[in-house]
Amino acid sequence: MQIITEPRQMQAIAEKMRLNRQLIGVVMTMGALHEGHLSLVKLAQQTAGIVILTIFVNPRQFAENEDLHRYPRPFEQDVALAKAAGVDYLFAPESETLYPNNFQTTLKCGALVEQFEGERREGHFNGVATVVTKLFNITKPHIAVFGEKDAQQLAVIRQLVEDLNLDITIIGAPIIREENGLAVSSRNIYLSSEEHRAASVLFQAILHAKKRIAEKETDLQSVAAEIEEMIRSTPGCRPDYVAFVDEKSFKTALTAEKGEEYRLLLAAYSGSVRLIDNAKIRA
Ligand code: AMP
């Protein structure tokens, strides 16, 4: 595995691979690699001959009050995990390399980011869209794998690719969970063992919603209210938002129509740690 930090060098390698008719897959991460990230690498390997993993803690997608400076950066461990997973190139630029002093162009997302994560995290998705576009231009992939764990982000990236005519196939990867159902996340290390145990309520809430919809409940708002109550009654936990949305538009859905698919979006705190989760639910 080759580690690359300079965009020009990564572009030259990617261009050469393209000329050799090699299929390039990219997986973008902020590092602190875990099973979720590695499942994305595996999925990329099933489609592409060459896999580039990027590690970049993108300052432009963190709001002022967020955890940019304490975000975990176990680089040596990440290198070992990426190597063991069979990654071909690890692209890990410095922040000053991607954002030199005269940097001034930022993408602006539309209606998709008006609610949920976009509403709560000022400028987050504009920062994501901008860095993802830069990393596409640097790694020149044919395919890119993103996790359903960040469902709104995946929708934003699909929209970005469509809107800007990017010639890249986006693959969504299923959520990898811990034994207690908690979605694996680099931020789970912030949880105390008690908060970690309590956080499994998010997965319990998803199971509850699936059961209620399977029982033919059509009032999605009342199912969402039941879930909020489940979270609120778990010690140390409080809901941020719970909503059923249309998968593509991310507009809130109030009533379940038979045969239709919805995405249940959850954000909640366990202690002071904010967690997100989601699931596709068919009525
Ligand atoms: P991050 O490093 O948190 O920015 O995540 C990098 C990529 O890994 C994103 O596409 C995430 O959606 C994906 N990802 C993070 N956690 C998981 C998980 N538990 N299961 C599947 N994909 C994940």
pLDDT at 75 over 90: yes
Give the residue carrying structure tokens 């008006």: 114
Residues 6+ apart with CB under 8 A from 182: 188, 196, 199, 200, 202, 203, 275
**Ligand 1 atom showing the smallest separation from residue 184 Cα:** 19
Look up residue 66 and give its two tokens: 């967020």
pLDDT one-digit tens code per residue, 93-151? 999 999 999 999 999 999 999 999 999 999 999 999 999 999 999 999 999 999 999 99
Mutational test site, ligand 1, from 38, 150, 157, 175, max ligand atoms within 8 Å of CB: 150
Bridge-based pairing state of the strands 273-282 and 261-270:
antiparallel
CB 134 within 8 A of CB 264: no
Q: What is the pTM of this model?
A: 0.98
CA–CA distance, 206 with 101 (Å, rounded to integer): 45
pLDDT, residue 232, reads: 98
Mean pLDDT of 21-48: 98
Ligand 1 site, residue 37, Cβ cutoff 6 A: yes
**124 catalytic, yes or no?**
no
Pocket-testing residue among 28, 37, 200, 206, ligand 1, by greatest number of atoms within 8 A of Cβ: 37
DSSP 244: E
For residue 72, give Cα distances in angstroms to 189, 277, 282. 9, 20, 36
Q: Is pLDDT at 88 greater than 90 in this prediction? A: yes
Q: Which pLDDT value is given to residue 35?
A: 98
Note the pLDDT of residue 27: 99
**The pLDDT of residue 148:** 98
Q: Is 281 in the pocket of ligand 1 (CB under 6 A)?
A: no
Instruction: State the average pLDDT for the chain.
Output: 97
Q: At 247, is the pLDDT very low, low, confident or very high (cuts 50, 70, 90)?
A: confident
Measured distance CA(266)–CA(223) in Å, rounded: 12
181 DSSP 8-state letter: S
Position in ligand 1 atom list of the atom nearest CA 187: 3
Distances (CA, A) of 216 to 204, 210, 263, 266: 19, 10, 16, 21
- Token pair of 243 as six digits: 């909503």
List Cα–Cα distances, 27 to 154, 192, 227, 246, 279, in angstroms: 13, 29, 33, 26, 22
Predicted local distance difference test score (pLDDT) of residue 248: 84
What mean pLDDT comes out for the span 249-277? 96
Distance 40 CA to ligand 1 centre (A): 8
What percent of the chain has pLDDT above 70?
Answer: 100
- How much is the average pLDDT of 3-25? 98
pLDDT at 92 over 90: yes
Residue nearest to atom 18 of ligand 1 (CA): 36
Determine if ligand 1 sits within 6 Å of the CB of residue 14: no
183 DSSP β-pair partners: 177
Q: Which secondary-structure segment (H or E) carries 43?
A: helix 35-47
The pair of three-digit structure tokens given for residue 125, joined into one six-digit string? 């998705």
The pLDDT of residue 201: 98
